[in-house]
Structure 1
Amino acid sequence: MSLSPTEKEAILRIIDSIDAQDDDYCAHEFNVYRWLVAYGNDEEEAGKALKRHLNIRKTIDLNSFVEKVDLESDDLNKYVPIDVIGQNHPDDNKVLMFERTGKIDISGLVDNVLMHKFMQIKLKMMESVHQKVVAAERKTGRQSGGLFVMDLDGISFSTKLISVLTGPYRIMWGTLFDHYPQLLQKIIIVNAPSFVNVLHQACSPFLPDDYKEKIVISSESAVDAIQKHVDKSFLPSDLGGELERKTSFPSAPFPKVNKKEEKEKANLIAISVPAGKYVVQKFEWKQGDEIEFFLHNESSFHYFMFHCEDDTRDMNMWREMTVGCERPALSQIDSWKYTVPLDG
């Protein structure tokens, strides 16, 4: 699909409204168009959300994530791999993604994963897809997007599965959708079990409206279902294709973290956040300071980090410095290191 003159005019109005005329991201019209569609053609709301995303791209240098060797080599990739394979068809320009969702040790993941590292790895994956999508759009002049195949072969029904899907997985994908709206053009669920409708009903309320219509559910095998959407010449051999490569198989079980050792790392201070309220903690740091964070929450809450040169209560002066998002209640004490980019 190419952009119409009306759509191009709307895109220019959004760019002008947030003073992003010189921004490289906005120079690619389809990038802005995705935000416009995601927000139901509401230019004001699309502009607000896009402005926040552009700030995040700069503060965490999101463009560089695909080159981060430490995230590429992290062992966590072995347990929750998503293959970004490439073009789907000679006559199309979608980017094929594949995950053996049913083989992931979801219970072990939730009990032992460190959320910050997990989200960093998934942001790297989505940024990689985004850059491939942009390259396909520049080559063809038509809108591209991810074609995400989730293979549920091996999945077992349990109450914990439901809690995981409506908790950590909902939060993870919700955060990714917030910053990569409309990037996935179709989500194909294959090897769907008999209880897939229960899973869909549990997840549906949390899906963005613009994504609900993109989901295709099939009880067919991955090999049979995927070839209706992807040409054999672009498929790995284990999916019935002609490529010599094969898709990743998740390692299991997920390695257990020594909870006693983790708790001994830091003497955490308890903070109570009343329902519907917020708590602000202020610290004064210098550029280049190395900070190590430790975080454990007993219930879900939203976490943000802002910067301001001066100590002010005026939130309009605060600049978001990390990807603010909801944090699920997980078993482990999360920890990560942060290099302070600015005095304040």
Structure 2
Amino acid sequence: MGSNHQDYTFSHDTHPYTRSFPKLFDCCEPDFFVCYMPDQQRGIINMIQLKQRDQHRMIKEMTEEEYFQCHLMLTEWMFQQLDHITRRTGRLTKCIRLSDAAGMHYRQMEKQQKIRESKAAKHMEFAYPQLLSCLFIANAPTWVNIFFALLKPFVPKSLLEKVRLISPHKHTKDLERILEFCSRDHLATRYGGNLQEWPPRAMVSK
């Protein structure tokens, strides 16, 4: 799979919005976020380790506009990659997002940050309606369901329809859902796949 990987980095010279990324990364642990395209005939896999983000610090050190800039830059970058694949293959290509909530404690959650994220997601869903194929939330503690229910009014219905709560190591059907979008060889072992390298050589990572 090595030949299928490409390495990308954002430069401050590319766009002024990229100056907001260091602030975001300072609020997170290494490898909290991995975005990679193991198979250039298919889409992008976007993985986030939710417990590795300090949401309270994000509220203190990032403005809503700075967070939005990061979100927009990454979304536009993914859109351009996927649009290139779509034009080359003639097949509409989308990304999947896998947010791993394993080990999260409710005290790590910051309601204001989740509202920010929901607002940004709502804007991106409107601007890039064909970008996201499915959002998997893996290994979520029971309390996450309650918190998620409180945020539903802030999330567009079209996005909610793409959300799937899964536990791929416990339920074979959940693993099969992920494998609809990527091969087992391109899925990390922590989710039932064969990929032992972590983080994988990524297009974007922190």
TM-score (norm 2): 0.70
Write the distance in 1 (CA, Å) between the matches of 2:103 and 2:196.
25
Shift of 1:144: 1.3
Q: Per the alignment, do residues 205 and 232 of structure 1 end up closer, same or farther by CA in structure 2, a change over 3 Å counting?
A: same
The verdict on how the C-alpha distance between 1:137 and 1:121 changes in structure 2, with shifts beyond 3 A counting, is same
| Alpha-carbon distance in structure 1 between the residues aligned to 2:150 and 2:68 | 22
Query: Aligned residues, how many?
Result: 183
* Structure 1 residue aligned with 2:184: 232
Which whole-Å CA distance do the structure 2 matches of 1:189 and 1:141 have between them?
Answer: 30
* Amino acid of the structure 1 residue aligned with 2:88: K
1:136 is matched with which residue: 85, 104, 123? Answer: 85
* One-letter amino acid of the structure 1 residue matched with residue 82 of structure 2: V
Alpha-carbon distance in structure 1 between the residues aligned to 2:190 and 2:109: 30
Corresponding residue of 1:123: 72
2-side partners of 1:108 and 1:183: how far apart? 29
Residue in 1 aligned with 2:139?
Answer: 191
- Displacement of 1:150 in angstroms is 0.4
Which of the residues 86, 94, 117 maps onto 1:169? 117
- Aligned amino acid, residue 150 of structure 2: A
Of 34, 51, 54, 1:102 maps to: 51
Spell out the pairing of 1:26-175 with structure 2 (5 A cutoff). Answer: 67-68=14-15, 71=18, 74-80=22-28, 82-87=33-38, 93-158=42-107, 161-165=110-114, 167-175=115-123
Mapped to 2, the partners of 1:162 and 1:117 lie a distance apart of 18
Q: Secondary structure at the match of 2:120?
A: helix
What one-letter code is carried by the residue in structure 1 that aligns with 2:199? K
Paired residue type of 2:43: K
Unmatched tracts of structure 1, length 5 or more: 1-63, 252-344
Q: Distance in 2 between matches of 1:140 and 1:209?
A: 30
CA distance in 2, matches of 1:87, 1:186: 17
State the AA in 2 paired with 1:231: S
Q: Percent identity?
A: 18
Q: Is the aligned partner of 1:209 residue 2:157? A: yes
SS of the residue aligned with 1:195? helix
Any idea what SS the aligned residue of 2:84 has?
helix
State whether residues 66 and 127 of structure 1, in contact with CA within 8 Å, keep that contact through their aligned partners in structure 2: no
* Alignment partner, residue 219 of structure 1: 167
Superposed displacement of residue 65, structure 1: 9.0
Contiguous gaps of at least 5 residues in structure 2: 1-10
Shift of 1:219: 3.5
TM-score (norm 1): 0.45
Q: What secondary structure, in the 3-state scheme, does the structure 1 residue paired with 2:36 have? A: strand
- Mapping of residues 318-333 of structure 1, within 5 Å: none
- Taking a change above 3 Å as real, the CA distance of residues 71 and 241 of structure 1, as seen in their structure-2 partners, is farther
Does the C-alpha gap of structure 1 residues 231 and 66 become closer, same or farther in structure 2, counting only changes over 3 Å?
Answer: farther
C-alpha distance in structure 1 between counterparts of 2:111 and 2:117, whole Å: 10
Cα displacement string for residues 80-116 of structure 1 (whole angstroms, at most 9, x for unaligned residues): 553221156x8x7232111111221111211222333
3-state DSSP of counterpart to 2:106? coil
Whether contact under 8 Å (1:103, 1:152) holds in the other structure is no
TM-superposed deviation, 1:238:
6.8
Gap change, CA 1:153 and 1:211, over 3 Å in 2: same
Larger relative CO (CA 8 A, sep 6+): 1 or 2? Answer: 2
Q: 2:202 matched to 1:246?
A: no
CA distance in 2 between counterparts of 1:235 and 1:160 reads 27
Cα gap change, 1:82 to 1:122, in 2 (>3 Å): farther
> For 1:12-38, what per-residue CA distance to the aligned partner results, in whole angstroms no more than 9, with x for missing partners?
xxxxxxxxxxxxxxxxxxxxxxxxxxx
